Amino acid sequence: MRPGSVGRRLVACLALAFAASAVTVAQVQWPVSGPPAPLPARPVSFPPYQLKTLANGLRVLVVLHHEQPSVSFRLLVQAGAMQEPSARPGVASLVATLLSQGTTTKSAGEIAHLIESAGGIIGTGSLNELSYVNGAVIKDQIDLVLGVASDIVQRPAFAPDEIERQRNQAYSALKVSYDDPDYVADLVFDRLVYGFHPYGRPNQGTPESIARVTRDDLVTYHRTWFVPNNALLAIVGDLTADEAFRAAERAFGSWPRREVPPVKTIDPPAPARRVVVIDRPGSAQTEIRVGHLAVPRTHPDFVPFDLTMRVLGGEGANRLFGVLRTDRGLTYGASAELHTFKASGNVVAETDTRSAATGEVLRLLVNEFFRLQREPVGPGELRGAQDYVAGSFPLTIESPSAIAQKVLAHLFYGLDLEEIERYRDRVERTTPADIQRVARQFLRPEQLSIVLVGDAAAFVDQLKALGFSDFERIPLGELDLNTPSLRRGGTAPAPPVEDPPPA
Amino acid sequence: MIKRALSVVVAVVWLGGATGPDTIIRPTKFDYTMTTLANGLQVVFLEDRSTPIVHLALWYHVGSKDERPGRTGFAHLFEHMMFKGSRNVRPDQHPSWITSVGGQANAFTDEDATVYWETVPAQYLPLVLWLEADRMASLEVTEQKFLTEREVVKEERRMRFENQPFGRLSEIIFDKAFKVHPYKHQTIGSLADLEAASIADVREFHATYYVPNNATIVLVGDFETRQARELVERYLGKVPAGKPVPREIPKEPPQKGEERHTVTEPWPLPAVIVSYHITYDGHPDAYPLHILAKILSDGESSRIYRALVYEKQLAVAAFGEAKLIEHPNLFYAVAIVAPGRRSEEVQRELQAQLDRVKTDGVTAEELSRAKRQFARDYILGRDTVQQKALHLGHAVVIHNDIKTADGEFDLFQNVTMADVQRVARTYFTAESRMLLTVQPRAGEVAPRPTGGGR
């Protein structure tokens, strides 16, 4: 249903030629006309927000919004897969899940009942390098909900029966996820790009690692990282800044500060070409991922690199969408992105297609990586991406939650808050020459990690014909992310990883 | 026993009065205006000056329930064609124009309606009106574009329905639950019917349904209503009215007795479903049915989660929904069976959760919680211009009464415990029940990969 963004101007021109033979559906004489001129524009700037650091080091952001009688909040703890013990993937995820499953004073049922009876909602989760507790509530209950949030963040019980319950849930969830080609493709792709670096580990763990997690693992990880000086809190909604800061102080002011240790990890491996086919017989489509290691969020070339990937597969230009969908009807969705984290990042192009078209889609996709290096982007294409990124600024500050997210992201990555306003200028100043420089400096079309999850028998011959004959074919049931060969029974041990020191 | 139950009811009714509706903060009301142009186009304006953006939602009152046999999926396929060019707009140029001004555009189709939308910086209101008028009045699509886009929609079906675990769940449920009403099929349609669709169908569909007298425009955002009204008249007022829109949709005959079905799918875990036929959106019973669904299924304190997932650990996930849409649909509950549990046992428990409401009703505390959860959803669901437009458009097109956009809040808050028990007794009958089990195909259960930790 998502028609998405559009292809190249060239394509549009070709299409115009077809228009002469169009089947006219119109019932009437509809006049020829051009698009109308815009109305006068109103100036737009980033809305006000306030920041304050509590005595215990918790940074609190407040964005006011008085239209609806609600308040929402988001608490970020700067710990995730990156901070969990390397031999225990899944610890960060289990801790996040277990936060709301009982504290030293309230059972899981009591927490759910308190929140839901107040007309509130709370969610928890974890990613590569952060964990979050977020929620929303009708405004008269904000103290209650923040109080519960504070309790679950500071004093989770990690009761043995709750651990077992969530362990079982995690097994079942993995069983379903491993049957989802989209999930498997992401999993294998991250593993290829990041190797045994934490970003390459499955955040949800594996059945084996989940089985090995002990209560001590959970308690230690939580005690080490869940401290106010390692967290950010945003409160957004229908209250005054003073009320918001006081509510934050009441709920989180007594959360004791403690220093957090540095994190030591191995580096991700340098990009190296590898083509992995995960065989899932009977698949209706092949899930495709193509990309490699790139740069962290704080890299000085982030803006031109991000625009480069938008030309390849983002709003406003999207070559992949044009080539694969608009021109050929080979897929429903095609996109490319620069994913960035604190320590590193990656580029990835992704799509899915019917099994029989796998080879053609892969060829077209890889070719687009080469083309970005080979020829400069057309000024119109870059303009499209720039116009979208710069022009959509008013849309990105519509909701107070979106405003808070933007500020939180800058605080989280340690970026200058002035960058929020400067960003549009930096986008506008980028030239086609910048794009080609970045494409040549950072893209590695010869060293792509390629993952295909689908019915291998239906397309492996195509791969051979197209020069991808060096692929590894692994039945889904034999996939083992722990071995360098990715196959179960692979004997070589994974490289050693230094664990963060215990608290 | 009866006496005790009665005294509990009395006690909780009193409690309900103390902590119930009166204490819930009312959301801000919509300050809209509405008009109908000479060609029949309905237009709703809601000013929201907080951010300099404007959202346009154009509803056509046609969805997959209007599709004739052999053409399932056509309403949605047609939606894709609306991006493939008109008199003054080249194929795919519409979204390209929108992104070039920093806007977003898309569309969606469901059983009852097809909605096209754009969100743009406010100064581009004339552009979006001009674009919508052009494709309403003069769609021009080539055979080649049609054939290519049909392939895209087939890929969409493969992606969403065929290649994901549980992807066909809703397709199976509604196919088994309905006999003749087109709610029997999914909006995406079947591959065979998509393949059978032709460019002639496109022409006919546009002429029949894409007429101003079958359309509603909702504008929300930073504009001055008087000026916006002039612009709408200038661009869309010129589109000629069409013929009256046909509504020959077969009625579903009442189900005559409990239905039981077992099917197999290549899924990693079994799924069990319990469903009952219910009423339509806007019927007085719709409100207590929605509240009942919240009591059974919203959040970790809800009955179904509490019993099946948390306490008995019978299910990996379980939920229930009152699917309240334009024509009578289903109340259905689904549980994904936990490894090592028997489907029959899980289905029995799921059914018991629904049926228990008939005998025991719900508590005042549950009712109060559901109303607060409803208020929360209501308030949080009116945050963006797009969300506001969705509520207004739904009120006009599906309820045929814009006042419900605000008025429903009170209807929900006035639901009583007796109402909830009454609708359970009315609809959760053996005659209307379906018990459906989806078993993993023997020998096709995905093996479990390993690894990751050391």
Which residues make Cβ contacts (< 8 Å) with residue A321, sequence separation at least 6? A4, A5, A6, A7, A313, A333, A334, A335
What sign does the dihedral A383-A384-A387-A388 (CA atoms) show? negative
How large is the average pLDDT for residues B368-392?
95
Q: Are residues A128 and A199 in the same domain?
A: yes
Please check the confidence at residue A413 and state whether its pLDDT lies above 80: yes
Q: Both tokens of residue B247?
A: 């509504």
- Examine residue B452 and state whether it is found in any structural domain, yes or no: no
Q: Are residues B39 and B107 in the same domain?
A: yes
Phi, psi of A473 (to 5 degrees): -105, 120
Side chain identity, residue A463? L
Other beta carbons within 10 angstroms of residue A17's beta carbon come to 9
- Examine residue A56 and state whether it is found in any structural domain, yes or no: yes
Q: Are residues A291 and A371 in the same domain?
A: yes
The DSSP string of A386-405 is HHHHHHTHHHHTSSHHHHHH
- Examine residue B248 and state whether it is found in any structural domain, yes or no: no
Chain A: nearest CA to B257, how far in angstroms? 34
CA distances in angstroms from B67 to A126, B121, B175, B366, listed in the order given: 44, 36, 15, 40
> Which residues of A are less than 8 Å from B164 in CB distance?
180-182
Q: A89 and B453 in contact by Cβ < 8 A?
A: yes
Residue A18 confidence (pLDDT): 33
- The length of chain B is 454
- Examine residue B191 and state whether it is found in any structural domain, yes or no: yes
How large is the average pLDDT for residues A211-222?
97
For A434, the enclosing helix (H) or strand (E) is helix A432-442
Phi, psi of B272 (to 5 degrees): -120, 145
Least confident span in A493-502, B97-106, B162-171: A493-502
Least confident span in A295-299, A376-380, B133-137: A376-380
Q: B242 and A27 in contact by Cβ < 8 A?
A: yes
Q: Both tokens of residue B447?
A: 């093996």
How large is the average pLDDT for residues B6-35?
57
User: How far is residue B62's CA from residue B405's CA, in Å, rounded to a whole number?
Assistant: 20
Task: Please report, rounded to a whole number, the percentage of residues in chain A having pLDDT higher than 90.
Answer: 85
Q: Are residues B379 and B423 in the same domain?
A: yes
Q: What confidence category does residue B11 fall into, taking pLDDT thresholds of 50, 70 and 90?
A: very low
Q: Are residues B129 and B161 in the same domain?
A: yes
Q: Are residues B219 and B300 in the same domain?
A: no
Q: What confidence category does residue A29 fall into, taking pLDDT thresholds of 50, 70 and 90?
A: confident
Q: Are residues A166 and A223 in the same domain?
A: yes
- Examine residue B106 and state whether it is found in any structural domain, yes or no: yes
Q: Are residues A313 and A226 in the same domain?
A: no
- Examine residue B128 and state whether it is found in any structural domain, yes or no: yes
- Examine residue B451 and state whether it is found in any structural domain, yes or no: no
Q: Are residues B265 and B212 in the same domain?
A: no
Residue A319 confidence (pLDDT): 95
Which residues make Cβ contacts (< 8 Å) with residue A442, sequence separation at least 6? A294, A295, A301, A305, A347
Q: A35 and B298 in contact by Cβ < 8 A?
A: no
Q: What confidence category does residue B9 fall into, taking pLDDT thresholds of 50, 70 and 90?
A: very low
- Examine residue A60 and state whether it is found in any structural domain, yes or no: yes
Q: Are residues A63 and A195 in the same domain?
A: yes
Q: B446 and A494 in contact by Cβ < 8 A?
A: no
CB contact at 8 A, A358 and A458 = yes
Residue B26 confidence (pLDDT): 83
- Examine residue A27 and state whether it is found in any structural domain, yes or no: no
CB contact at 8 A, B379 and A68 = yes
- Examine residue B118 and state whether it is found in any structural domain, yes or no: yes
- Examine residue B307 and state whether it is found in any structural domain, yes or no: yes
Chain A: nearest CA to B126, how far in angstroms? 6
Q: Are residues A151 and A285 in the same domain?
A: no
Least confident span in A202-211, A214-223, B228-237: A202-211
Q: A395 and B91 in contact by Cβ < 8 A?
A: no
Please check the confidence at residue B449 and state whether its pLDDT lies above 50: no
CATH of the domain at B93: 3.30.830.10
Location of structure tokens 């009166």: B22
What sign does the dihedral A463-A464-A468-A471 (CA atoms) show? positive
User: How far is residue A30's CA from residue A37's CA, in Å, rounded to a whole number?
Assistant: 20
User: How far is residue B343's CA from residue B314's CA, in Å, rounded to a whole number?
Assistant: 9
How large is the average pLDDT for residues A259-281?
96
* Average pLDDT over all residues of chain B: 92
- Domain final residue pick, A252, A282, A315: A252
Q: Are residues B71 and B217 in the same domain?
A: yes
Q: What confidence category does residue B173 fall into, taking pLDDT thresholds of 50, 70 and 90?
A: very high
Q: Are residues B202 and B73 in the same domain?
A: yes
Residue B453 confidence (pLDDT): 34
Q: Are residues B280 and B134 in the same domain?
A: no
ipTM of the complex: 0.90
Task: Please report, rounded to a whole number, the percentage of residues in chain B having pLDDT higher than 70.
Answer: 92
Q: Are residues B302 and B404 in the same domain?
A: yes
Least confident span in A21-30, A191-200, A360-369: A21-30
Q: Are residues A81 and A190 in the same domain?
A: yes
- Examine residue A240 and state whether it is found in any structural domain, yes or no: yes
Q: Both tokens of residue B370?
A: 């559901």
Q: Which residue has the higher pLDDT, B451 or A392?
A: A392
Q: Which residue of A has its CA nearest to B201?
A: A25
Q: Are residues A224 and A283 in the same domain?
A: no
SS3 per-residue string spanning chain B: CHHHHHHHHHHHHHHHHHHCHHHCCCCCCCCEEEEECCCCCEEEEEECCCCCEEEEEEEECCCHHHCCCCCCCHHHHHHHHCCCCECCECCCHHHHHHHHCCCEEEEEECCCCEEEEEEEEHHHHHHHHHHHHHHHHCEEECHHHHHHHHHHHHHHHHHHHHCCCCCCHHHHHHHHHCCCCHHHCCCCCCHHHHHHCCHHHHHHHHHHHCCHHHEEEEEEECCCHHHHHHHHHHHHCCCCCCCCCCCCCCCCCCCCCCEEEEEEECCCCCEEEEEEECCCCCCCCHHHHHHHHHHHHCCCCCHHHHHHHHHCCCEEEEEEEECCCCCCCEEEEEEEECCCCCHHHHHHHHHHHHHHHHHHCCCHHHHHHHHHHHHHHHHHCCCCHHHHHHHHHHHHHCCCCCCHHHHHHHHHHCCCHHHHHHHHHHHCCHHHEEEEEEEECCCCCCCCCECCCC
Least confident span in A494-498, B214-218, B227-231: A494-498
Q: Are residues A191 and A295 in the same domain?
A: no
Residue B24 confidence (pLDDT): 75
Q: Are residues B164 and B71 in the same domain?
A: yes
Q: What is the pLDDT of residues A138-153, one digit of tens each?
A: 998 999 999 999 999 9
Q: A38 and B126 in contact by Cβ < 8 A?
A: yes
B121 touches chain A (CB under 8 A): yes
Please check the confidence at residue B146 and state whether its pLDDT lies above 90: yes
Q: Are residues B130 and B211 in the same domain?
A: yes
Residue A28 confidence (pLDDT): 55
Q: What confidence category does residue A68 fall into, taking pLDDT thresholds of 50, 70 and 90?
A: confident
- Examine residue A5 and state whether it is found in any structural domain, yes or no: no
How large is the average pLDDT for residues A92-97?
98
- Domain final residue pick, B174, B204, B236: B236
- List, as ranges, residues 350-379 from B with C-beta within 8 Å of A: 365, 368-369, 372-373, 375-376, 379
> Which residues of A are less than 8 Å from B108 in CB distance?
1
CB contact at 8 A, B41 and B213 = yes
Nearest to A285 among B159, B310, B379 (CB): B159
SS3 A78: coil
Displacement of CA B312 from its chain's centroid (Å): 31
Q: What confidence category does residue A6 fall into, taking pLDDT thresholds of 50, 70 and 90?
A: very low
Chain B: nearest CA to A276, how far in angstroms? 15
B29 touches chain A (CB under 8 A): no
Please check the confidence at residue A492 and state whether its pLDDT lies above 60: no
User: How far is residue A266's CA from residue A76's CA, in Å, rounded to a whole number?
Assistant: 25
Q: Which residue of A has its CA nearest to B24?
A: A138
Residues B359-378, buried b or exposed e (16+ Cβ, 10 A)?
A: eebbbbbbbbbbbbbbbbeb
CATH of the domain at A55: 3.30.830.10
Please check the confidence at residue A16 and state whether its pLDDT lies above 50: no
Residue B23 confidence (pLDDT): 62
Number of domains in chain A: 2
How large is the average pLDDT for residues A229-233?
98
Q: Which residue of B has its CA nearest to A67?
A: B28
Q: Are residues A106 and A209 in the same domain?
A: yes
Number of domains in chain B: 2
Side chain identity, residue B126? P
How large is the average pLDDT for residues B207-234?
98
B162 touches chain A (CB under 8 A): yes
Q: Are residues A240 and A281 in the same domain?
A: no
Q: B100 and A477 in contact by Cβ < 8 A?
A: no
Q: Are residues A450 and A312 in the same domain?
A: yes
Q: A12 and B91 in contact by Cβ < 8 A?
A: yes
Q: Both tokens of residue B423?
A: 């609708």
For A428, the enclosing helix (H) or strand (E) is helix A419-429
**Range(s) of the domain holding residue A206:** 50-252
**Range(s) of the domain holding residue B349:** 255-440
Q: Are residues B228 and B299 in the same domain?
A: no
Q: What is the pLDDT of residues B228-285, one digit of tens each?
A: 999 999 999 999 999 999 999 999 999 999 999 999 999 999 999 999 999 999 999 9
B97 touches chain A (CB under 8 A): yes
Q: Both tokens of residue A433?
A: 């020459």
Q: What confidence category does residue A66 fall into, taking pLDDT thresholds of 50, 70 and 90?
A: confident
